[in-house]
Amino acid sequence: MIRLKCLKRISFLSLFLIFSFAASSFSFEPFVSTDWLEKNLNNSDLVIVDVRKVEEYKAGHIPNSVNAFYGSWAISKAGLRNELPPTDDLFDLIGSLGITVGSHVVVVGKVDTPPDKFDMTRVVWTLKYAGVKKVSMLDGGYNKWVAEKKGVSTDMVKPKSTTYKGDINKNLIVDKKYVMSKLGQAILVDVREPEFFKGEKKLDFVAKAGRIKGAVNLPNSLAFNKDSTLKSKEELEKAAISAIGTDKSKEVIVYCDTGKTCTAWAIILSDMLGYKDVKIYDGSTEEWTKDPDAPFEQ
């Protein structure tokens, strides 16, 4: 009888551990809601990183969040915008915020203008590149948090600095030489709006209008609602399949003008929709159009 009771207890404990592990492994989502974040503010594994300017952070921020302005995550380098900082600098920044490989990081920013939300997605992708396993962004950003009258703090939060050591995921961010080698093999996805994809418009710093030869168009406007919240998974899946197809094992290289806005679809495709091999081209059209030998079309 005693042995039977012990076996029952062991079995119950085993089931509890299995279900607990399953629950924890499914707790990570690439986009988290304001309600989820409010419920998890005091989670010891959670690090909330506010990427707005320091004066905006000081004026009011989500309780317990730490501040690291977007410009420290993406720098200008060799005449290109939104490039990765040196690895040592990036690791120092991550460690200074108290982030470890096992932390769940939620990135918070503003959505005052259409491009603002991509500060968040670029930082999310950069943290993934640096080896952080669980990284999310706040859906709707700080604007949605304030609009819902959730708690705001003006207390400056001093992070518990640590030495960050992660494994770089080099396959998440690729250069021009790599893209050149993959023309006609990988699926190139241009996330700019159709008028830019078709060559009807261009930004001033892009040398010429058009797209990388062979690219397909998957505009960022198909991913977000007017309030900058994410569209439903069904809508995202439909948009992705229409541009890329149903084979999720194919290599996908996503680009934009500077390697910033393309990170939104990169996150959606890899972390939500199950595409297995998604990379971003960091230099994007800003770099590509400077090279007269880089295949381009309108």
Predicted confidence (pLDDT) at residue 3 exceeds the cutoff of 50: no
Domain ranges of the chain: 28-147, 170-297
Q: Token pair for residue 182?
A: 């993959």
pLDDT class for 25, splitting at 50, 70, 90? very low
Domain 28-147 CATH (choose: 3.40.1370.10, 2.40.110.20, 3.40.630.30, 3.40.250.10): 3.40.250.10
For the chain, report the end-to-end CA distance as a whole number of angstroms: 79
Query: What mean pLDDT do residues 60-72 have?
Result: 98
Task: Judge if 28-147 and 170-297 fold alike in CATH terms.
Answer: yes
Q: Is the pLDDT of residue 5 over 50?
A: no
Q: Kindly state the average pLDDT of the residues 218-232.
A: 97
Per the prediction, the chain carries an average pLDDT of: 92
**Cα(36)–Cα(41) distance, rounded to whole angstroms?**
9
Q: Does 9 have pLDDT greater than 80?
A: no
What does the CA dihedral 187, 191, 194, 199 come to, rounded to 10 degrees?
-80
**161: its two tokens:** 């600095």
pLDDT over 90 at 10, yes or no: no
pLDDT digit string (tens) for 261-272? 999 999 999 999
pLDDT attached to residue 28 = 77
The pLDDT of residue 230 is above 50: yes
pTM check: above 0.75? yes
Q: Which range (3-12, 161-170, 182-191) has the least confidence?
A: 3-12
Bigger pLDDT: 59 vs 23: 59
Q: Indicate whether 246 pLDDT > 60.
A: yes
Of 5-9, 24-28, 114-118, 209-213, minimum mean pLDDT range: 5-9
Give the per-residue pLDDT at 114: 86
CATH class of segment(s) 170-297: alpha beta
Predicted pLDDT at 150: 98
Mean pLDDT confidence for 282-288: 98
**Mean per-residue pLDDT for 197-205?**
98
Give residue 18's pLDDT. Answer: 39
